[in-house]
Amino acid sequence: MAPFILLFIAFLFAPLLYAFYTSLFIERFGQPIFVGFRNYVNAFQDGAFWSSVVNVIRYAILQGVIMIVLSLILALVLDTKYARWKPLFRLIYFLPYAVPGVFASIMWGFLYSKPLDPLLQALHFDPLSSAALLYSIINIATWEWAGYNMTLYSASLTGVSTDLYEAAIVDGCNEFQLAWHIKLPLLRPTILMTVILSFIGSMQLFNEPFLLSALTPISQTFTPNMDIYAMAFNLTNLPYAATLAVLLGAITIFISACVMIAARVIGRRSRERTALRMSSEEVLST
């Protein structure tokens, strides 16, 4: 336990504390001046930052839903008795996760380049246009992470007793009913974990839009992390960049906690309804 606490303090708590400490100052001629929470007051009035937060939350919802549904479908299909060469297909779907994110962004940047792609020219479609850019980034992230999440769901399914499946089949369940009524409820804790991890990862979106900005004009405030990077390294305003980073971390923790609480409430109510239905059936049978 002690090594974990030391690592937690060194790599999470201490950087957060230092960022918060830095956010309480401004710099004048290279000298820090204590200003209290003035940077936070300015940040709450910073429309560009909040616009980037809304943008990345929209990205997190769209990308998270598409990726998790796709991962679940792949895992459930590969878990049926009709699937063949399961290890091979699991490896193929997992391979994009092994590709570094920077390399994946560069590769997709070339695929999205309309002058280099005759198909895009024939379709008169530009994936790097302002209207399609967000969805193009969603496609990159889904390609990278769907196989990884599919592996988590598949690992969870392998831990389920086959007796449960056999009992359901004896009761007349087909593969779809087995997946809907047995496998998906059992995957609920894993799905909740992937939803939260996906949201946290989405809030840190940086690599894809930053690298694609070499091919198409993208605002420096497209995502909060790009805004923080520009503030810290282009404008060298480290205290204000630290302020935005602290706010982004607080927003991420708050929304993740809300998702966990909502999932627990929904799960408890679902278990209560199931218990009530089972008790009613027992009363009727007697």
pLDDT tens-digit series, residues 22-53: 999 998 887 888 999 999 999 999 999 999 99
> Which residues share a beta bridge with 26?
33
The one-letter amino acid code at 78 reads L
Are the C-beta atoms of 230 and 121 separated by less than 8 Å? no
pTM given for the model: 0.86
Residue appearing with tokens 């499946």: 165
Which pLDDT score is estimated for 142?
95
Out of 38-47, 120-129, 146-155, which region has the weakest mean confidence (pLDDT)? 120-129
Q: What is the mean pLDDT of the chain?
A: 88
For residue 34, the cross-strand partners are 25
Say whether pLDDT at 66 is over 90. Answer: yes
In CATH, what number does 61-240+253-278 get?
1.10.3720.10
* Cα distance between residue 135 and residue 59, in whole Å: 8
Question: Distance (Å, rounded) from C-alpha 150 to C-alpha 147?
Answer: 5
Instruction: Output the six-digit token pair for 268.
Output: 């408890």
Q: Cα separation of 150 and 90, whole Å?
A: 8
Q: Rounded CA gap, 2 and 6, in Å?
A: 6
**Residues 180, 186: Cα–Cα separation, whole Å:** 10
Query: What pLDDT sits at residue 77?
Result: 93
The two three-digit tokens of residue 283, written as one number: 């009363």
Pick from 12, 56, 48, 73: nearest CA to 199: 56
DSSP of 226-277 = HHHHIIIIIS--HHHHHHHHHHHHHHHHHHHHHHHHHHHHHHHHHHHHHHHH
Q: Could you tell me the pLDDT band of residue 282, with boundaries at 50, 70 and 90?
A: low
Q: With b meaning 16 or more CB within 10 Å and e meaning fewer, what string describes 178-216?
A: bbeebbeeebeebbbebbbbbbeebbebbbbbbbbbeeb
Mean pLDDT calculated for residue range 217-234: 92
| Spatial distance between the Cα atoms of 88 and 241, rounded to a whole number of angstroms | 46
Question: Which are the contacts of 259, defined by CB distance < 8 A and separation ≥ 6?
Answer: 192, 195, 196, 199
Question: Structure tokens of 181?
Answer: 């009524």
